[in-house]
Each structure stands twice: as C-alpha cells, then as structure tokens.
C-alpha cells in the first residue's frame, strides 16, 4: 500500500502545506473609480489590499480583518513605531465644540 501525499489545489503562499481559503486584507494603497453600483451611484474611493493567498493557520485576525504574516509584521512595526501626538481637534469634534476659524 502506498501513501499518497495530496497537495492543496490552492496552496497557502506562506506555509505551502494547507489550502488557501482567504486573501490578506492589509491596505497597501488607495485609488478612485468612476464606476457606478447597481443603483447608479458613484462608487468613488477604493482600497487596494495585499491579497496574498493565506490559510487559516497563517492568517492573523485583527478586528475581523485577516493579515498574512508579512503584513502582520508591518502592522506590528507601525503600532510600535507610530508617533501618536495628542491634539485638541479630536476632543473638540467629539464634544461638539469644533469651529473652523474663517478669516
């Protein structure tokens, strides 16, 4: 009796062992389209995503979005290195006190 190794039809781009069941959702760019939806409304802004083919085992799910190992590493780098600076604008918007000074 011989043991057959069954290769996945759509192998994961990273482990190459399991079936790829999804695409990476990491946003790598933005574009604009003049296409219209089924109701005739302009679609407008579009997000371009990584779209690496990944399996459930290699995917990292963050808030409902699946990231490939490469993009997850980028996400962690951005979170670690991001220079977040506080400002009053967001607070004033949330509290309804934002007013644009017009000259």
Judged against a pLDDT cut of 80, whether residue 101 lies above it is answered with: no
Q: What is the dihedral of CA 13, 29, 45, 68, to 10 degrees?
A: 30
Three-state secondary-structure class, residue 40:
coil
Specify if 72 maps to a domain.
Answer: yes
Q: Whole-model pTM? A: 0.71
* Structure tokens, 57: 């085992």
Q: How confident is the model at residue 77 (pLDDT cuts 50, 70, 90)?
A: very high
* Structure tokens, 79: 């979170």
E strands, 1-69, where?
A: 22-23, 27-36, 42-49, 53-54, 60-62, 65-67
Give the helix ranges, DSSP H, for the chain. Answer: 69-81, 88-94
Predicted local confidence at residue 1, as pLDDT: 65
| Per-residue pLDDT reduced to its tens digit, 13-72 | 999 999 999 999 999 999 888 888 889 888 888 899 999 999 999 999 999 999 999 999
Specify if 1 maps to a domain.
Answer: no
Q: How many structural domains are present in the chain?
A: 1
Specify if 17 maps to a domain.
Answer: no
Domain that holds residue 69: 22-94
Specify if 11 maps to a domain.
Answer: no
Specify if 67 maps to a domain.
Answer: yes
CA distance 76 to 40: 40
Alpha carbon 3 to its chain centroid, in Å, reads 40
Specify if 73 maps to a domain.
Answer: yes
Specify if 15 maps to a domain.
Answer: no
Predicted local confidence at residue 73, as pLDDT: 97
């Amino acid at each position: 009796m011989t043991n057959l190794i069954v290769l996945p039809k759509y192998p994961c781009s990273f482990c190459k062992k399991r079936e790829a069941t999804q695409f990476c959702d990491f946003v790598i760019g933005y574009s604009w389209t003049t296409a219209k939806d089924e109701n005739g409304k302009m679609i407008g802004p579009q997000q371009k995503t990584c779209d690496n083919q990944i399996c459930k085992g290699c995917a990292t799910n963050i808030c409902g979005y699946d990231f490939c190992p490469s993009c997850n590493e980028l996400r962690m780098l951005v979170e670690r290195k991001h220079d977040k600076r506080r400002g009053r604008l967001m607070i004033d918007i949330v509290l309804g006190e934002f007013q644009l000074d017009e000259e």
